[in-house]
Structure 1
């Protein structure tokens, strides 16, 4: 494919906003608004006629001058909400939609989406991580909150991130020892269950997190072992036939071991090495089909870091080896898919601050990977990138960020392909006063398909209706082209030390939009990613947060809520428009957390809602309808003397079943239907700190 240098299109509305912002007088100095990327500052105490309370810690300005906002989920917040995984914490992040129960080909939780777009990019301490070559579990799925210091979420394009495309970038920062001790840590054991007439589940987990410090050496070890045995009944029905029940029995085991070492050369320099070893295994049976899946991987991340006040340098070297096997035993025979991926990366990131109003970020990134399969040809890939991003606080109220990223991509073997992309980003923030701000972002980005999306190997679905339109097999598409994204996004925010409200509007035009579509091949249906000529996504997002820090009597309270809408349309070849089949029109969530310190008791309640919606399938004479889904999670943690604690978590309280229906566009008659029961599940955990 020949090289492209896309025209960077400025939206007229954005230019008007910038012009208005630039003309606003900045003669009176103001304190910059406390944004979501701030750090805690000393607590402030306000006295009311009846009570005295301490507001949530005011957030001191992040030394980063960038106009691109960053949200932070702290370790303290995860403990207060009783989070058991990274996904638990991300439920409260506005714009991130979790897939519905049973939405995946194997009845999993489906994909995580960001504002109706692709899956977010995950980083661990700034280093990209990936799932299995067939979409298996990633390192992120095995990380527990005990290992995490904070989670940083960048919701707008930034050339300094691993991807400048419009998906969110989620950076998980692992924690360092909290105390200067030779060894300290946490041991946790949990047991969970769920049972109804159509579902049984038993979950067990055991985790260990310990760390310590000896002079300049910091070390830690994390071990997480999980067992999950479940029996599910999936109902399916075809036109003119009675409903059938498919019983699926699954046994899953997952182990992750992660040692980490850090050596401080001096006050400014340190060396870091961390290893992630994972072993995941899933054995399942559905009818006359037996499914055995295995995934083994080991990843090594090493870094050299230097920080001198506002200046920093970081050199990253990484290597990962993964092997994933899918064995499907059917009446007609046994299918085995065995794929191995090796990836190597070398990158440099630098920051230079000229003063408290100007900074520049720059860096290079090179990656090479090899995907081997027992069915298809080997796919080799080389990626190279370089970026530069400058930020300047033009006035006390105006901050401007301009960045560009140049990427080169070459694939060989299964696919012969080479391309290069130039991606500019322009961001501006105007602070009306210490609370109100307006932030706007313009970008031109490219998103190249992952290597596993290019492998055409077919993975057979589970259950008696496997290969049907409502339960298709899945595969890749070696002819996928990268998406080209032109985006504008603007956020009006009101933020105070105790919380705030942010209203975001966004619009994205996407050429060669990648959508997972279903096509019939022979007597079976297969779902594969395919390019659509162009698509448009737009919507608004309203997010609010309020926290009352601990009062004199020991009460503390936190409330957050968000609603995120999205309209995703694809223009067909005949000029007609169609809504994207698997994107809900909006999602809403709310959470409340209460802590009573005298009892050392913390509780939280989180609710999520997805409305019912229906979409016409691409090039199929059917309409797919999804029912509305409600989900409520409750957790409580009681702490005892001698650093003991007990937690109770209830998931899927008052939740609704997940149902899909396919109806004929002409007659409206039922073609196919599927349903998955969603029942409450409970988990008891016992924790000991040492």
Structure 2
């Protein structure tokens, strides 16, 4: 592949970046310069007193780029069992729904942000990923007991390498709660789901332990999960109907020890290790599927903090291995792929005075991806960034930054590119409650290495390889996306809650879309560059909390409506809506706590409407049905650190139905139904 010259240059937009002065505040929970006003606990973490907390030390970060923080207390209050449970209350995220079909994926890898790709996940500031071909990531193994807080940055920020992704989720792992040598909790869970011929059994055990001994801080997080499922898929084509039973056994392990040493009040050394292993065995009729994904990652850091000034040096190394085996009378395939990654980075912050600060740093990564079915792919990425913030009045802050990146690939793909990404953000606080914040950016987004591999992953079920259930593969000819983004949020927030209205627009050249093409006798879905695309929409997110009453009652209500219209223009200059982006999603949550009984309950409802989209270069329209999903959680705490939880998932859920109709006469071409399975998970917890 020939060298691709950078296409960013000084233009009308570039000049506008220096003069544009409106602003947003993109948070669906109450934030103040990157911190959240959370309710203070009354007795236990699950029983919260929902009122304004006493004044605390002000966060030294004065950046105009908004940040939403979800604390562990909030996750426990809502009965969250995973990171995805916490993020479903944040506007803009389209969460994967159980039984949502062959293309949706699951866990963090199946999440979408504002109709685009998955957001970038960080753990303690370090990027994490799934397997070489999108397997489960470390994020899917974390439980709220292991997490201190989740920081969500929805707008471009050069400091977090989120210029192109426009969403970064940084998971900060739990710190020791006190000076005890050892403390923590053990949780056991058993879940059962059954509907007609379908059945699912889930068992898990998790451990979180931490402590402090003088200058040493240490922690250990671990969990083991077993998930056995019998599912039914119904397909229809050519006037014939089929019912397919699939049996899948999954098991997953995660082990994460961490140690910190405080050199003095300002400096510390950190080392953390993540090991995970995921195995899946599935069968249907004569087809056997065996998948395995394991990885080990070591992160080390040196940190120095002196009031508003800080320095951080990060070193990381990771090895991932993923295998997929498909055996049947019609085909046999085996894929074995390994990723070796090495990284070094530096991040610095300097507070010039109370109203000025700068952030700067560098990031270097090297990856090697080996496969038994394709050439080795080597990749080197280098980045430099700088970002300055100036609070030029008591109520106005401006942030201007730029990130320069270089990328080189060799082996399977010969590719070299470099680009500059500028970002401008401005925040205006009308008073103590009203605010307006705007962000404008220009960026490039290079495709991830796993999307370049041409290796085909075989689908399952009786209609595998069909247009409605295609095989999946990568595309070595992908070009980077060029993105121009605008976003503005008007917010009204108080300690009791508030409402935020966000409008956004993104123009994307060389937009990467998953497109289905026939290859031989089977259909295969691959990422393909389209000429141009645009996404725009409005989000409305609100939250209201009733503070703790004298009788011990407290109440919280939150809801969101996220609209998105994603339109693509192909190489023939034909416009259509992106095939797999819902026009809007809506959700609502209700949480109630009663302190005397130490009981917390929550109900969360999600809704996705029916929508029809044309397939690229195919004479068919695809329709996805209207879907409703409800989750209910109840937690009761007892004496001596004991607690019990009941979590009902997919209550009153609708099946996932997908059908293809001929554009010429509207007649049915293919259809499939994945049945939803309501489930109940009972957990017992003991703190020590």
Q: TM-score range by the shorter chain?
A: over 0.9
Assess if the C-alpha contact under 8 Å between 2:22 and 2:437 holds in 1: no
Displacement of 1:561 after TM fit? 0.5
Distance 1:217 1:71 in 2: 30
Q: Distance in 2 between matches of 1:465 and 1:427?
A: 49
Asked whether the equivalents of residues 271 and 298 of structure 2 are also in contact (C-alpha less than 8 Å), the reply is yes
Does 333-342 or 306-315 show the bigger shift?
A: 333-342
Q: 539, 542, 560: which one pairs with 2:540?
A: 542
Deviates more, 1:588-597 or 1:104-113: 104-113
Deviations 1:588-630, CA, capped at 9 Å, x for gaps: 1110111111000000000100000000000000000000110
Query: Do residues 105 (structure 1) and 108 (structure 2) align?
Result: no
Alignment of 1:334-483 (within 5 A): 334-483=332-481
Corresponding residue number in structure 2 for 1:279 = 277
**Counterpart for residue 34 of structure 2:** 37
Q: Does the CA contact (< 8 Å) of 1:455 and 1:477 recur in 2?
A: yes
Kindly tell me: are residues 39 and 607 of structure 1, through their superposed partners in 2, closer, same or farther at Cα, counting changes over 3 Å? closer
**Counterpart position of 2:658:** 660
| Partner residue in 2 for 1:24 | none
The 5-angstrom pairing of residues 73-152 of structure 1 reads: 73-105=70-102, 108-109=105-106, 111-152=110-151
1:501-512 equivalences under 5 Å are 501-512=499-510
Shift, 1:3, TM fit: 3.0
Matched residue SS, 1:57: coil
1:275-332 per-residue CA deviation (whole Å, 9 max, x = no partner) reads: 0001110000022110000111100010000000100000000000011000111113
Correspondence list, 1:486-497, <5 A? 486-497=484-495
2:219 matched to 1:220? yes
Aligned to 1:170: 169
Q: Greater shift after overlay, 557-566 or 615-624?
A: 557-566
For residues 679 and 44 of structure 1, the distance between their equivalents in structure 2, rounded to whole angstroms, comes to: 35
1:92 match: secondary structure:
coil
Quickly say closer, same or farther: Cα 1:654–1:600, change in 2 above 3 A: same
**1:480 shift after superposition:** 0.5
The 8 Å contact of residues 17 and 441 in structure 2, kept in 1 or not, is answered as no
Deviation of 1:58 after TM superposition, in Å, equals: 6.8
Q: What secondary structure is seen at the aligned counterpart in 2 of 1:134? A: coil
Change (3 A) 1:163 1:666: same
Q: CA deviation at 1:105?
A: 3.0
Work out whether residues 635 and 649 of structure 1, in 8 Å CA contact, stay in contact via their aligned partners in 2: yes
Assess if the C-alpha contact under 8 Å between 1:59 and 1:497 holds in 2: no
| TM-score under structure 1 length normalisation | 0.94
1:57 has 2:56 as partner: no
Q: 2:325 aligns with which of 324, 327, 342?
A: 327
CA drift of 1:547 comes to 1.6
CA drift at 1:101: 3.3
User: CA separation of 1:132/1:166 partners in 2, compared to 1, >3 Å: closer, same or farther?
Assistant: closer
Structure 1: stretches of 5+ with no match in the other structure: 22-32, 46-52
Counterparts in 2 of 1:681 and 1:484: CA distance versus 1, 3 Å = same
Q: 1:327, 1:336 within 8 Å by CA — same for their partners in 2?
A: yes
**CA distance in structure 2 between the partners assigned to 1:482 and 1:422 by the alignment:** 13
Counterparts of 2:469 and 2:36 in 1: how far apart (Å)?
Answer: 47
Corresponding residue for 1:649? 647
**Does the 8 A contact of 1:437 with 1:492 survive in 2?**
yes
Please give the root-mean-square deviation of Cα atoms over the aligned residues, in Å: 2.1
Residue 63 of structure 2: aligned partner: 66
Deviates more, 1:463-472 or 1:327-336: 327-336
Q: Tell which deviates more after alignment, 383-392 or 105-114.
A: 105-114
Q: How far, CA to CA, are the matches of 1:434 and 1:623 in structure 2? A: 50
User: Counterparts of 1:93 and 1:501 in 2: how far apart (Å)?
Assistant: 12
Could you tell me how far 1:483 is from its partner in structure 2? Answer: 0.7
Q: 1:369 to 1:351 in 2, by over 3 A?
A: same
Deviation for aligned residue 1:5: 2.7
CA distance in 2, matches of 1:611, 1:14: 37
1:551, distance to aligned residue in structure 2 (A): 2.3
The CA distance in 1 between the partners of 2:683 and 2:305, in whole Å, is: 40
Q: Return the alpha-carbon distance in structure 2 between the equivalents of residues 272 and 43 of structure 1.
A: 29
Larger CA deviation: 3-12 vs 184-193? 3-12
Distance in 1 (CA, whole Å) between partners of 2:139 and 2:294 is 14
In structure 2, relative to structure 1, the CA distance for the partners of 1:15 and 1:558 (3 Å cut) is farther
Deviation per CA, 1:118-158, whole angstroms, max 9, x where unpaired?
Answer: 11000000000010001101110101111100000000000
Q: What secondary structure sits across from 1:635 in the alignment? A: strand
Question: How far is 1:397 from its partner?
Answer: 1.3
Aligned: 1:571 with 2:574: no
Alpha-carbon distance between aligned partners in 1 of 2:350 and 2:5, rounded to the nearest angstrom: 35
Compared CA separation, residues 58 and 87, structure 1 to 2 (3 A): farther
Moved more, 182-191 or 95-104: 95-104
Partner of 1:525: 523
* One of 2, 5, 8 as aligned partner of 2:5: 2
The match for 1:25 is: none
Q: TM-score, normalised by structure 2?
A: 0.95
Point out the more displaced range, 567-576 or 214-223. Answer: 567-576
Cα distance between partner residues in 2 of 1:106 and 1:433: 46
Cα drift, residue 12 of structure 1: 11
Farther off after superposition, 4-13 or 301-310? 4-13
Instruction: Please list the CA deviations of residues 145-185 of structure 1 after superposition, one character each: whole Å capped at 9, or x if unmatched.
Output: 11100000000000000331143100000011001011101
Asked if the contact 2:23/2:425 (under 8 Å) is kept, the reply is no
The whole-number CA distance in structure 2 between the counterparts of 1:369 and 1:108 is: 24
Q: Give the SS at the match of 1:582.
A: coil
Instruction: Give the Cα–Cα distance (whole angstroms) in 2 for the partners of residues 219 and 583 of structure 1.
Output: 43
What is the aligned partner in structure 2 of residue 253 from structure 1?
A: 251
2:191 matched to which residue of 1? Answer: 192
Alignment-derived partner of residue 205 in structure 2: 206
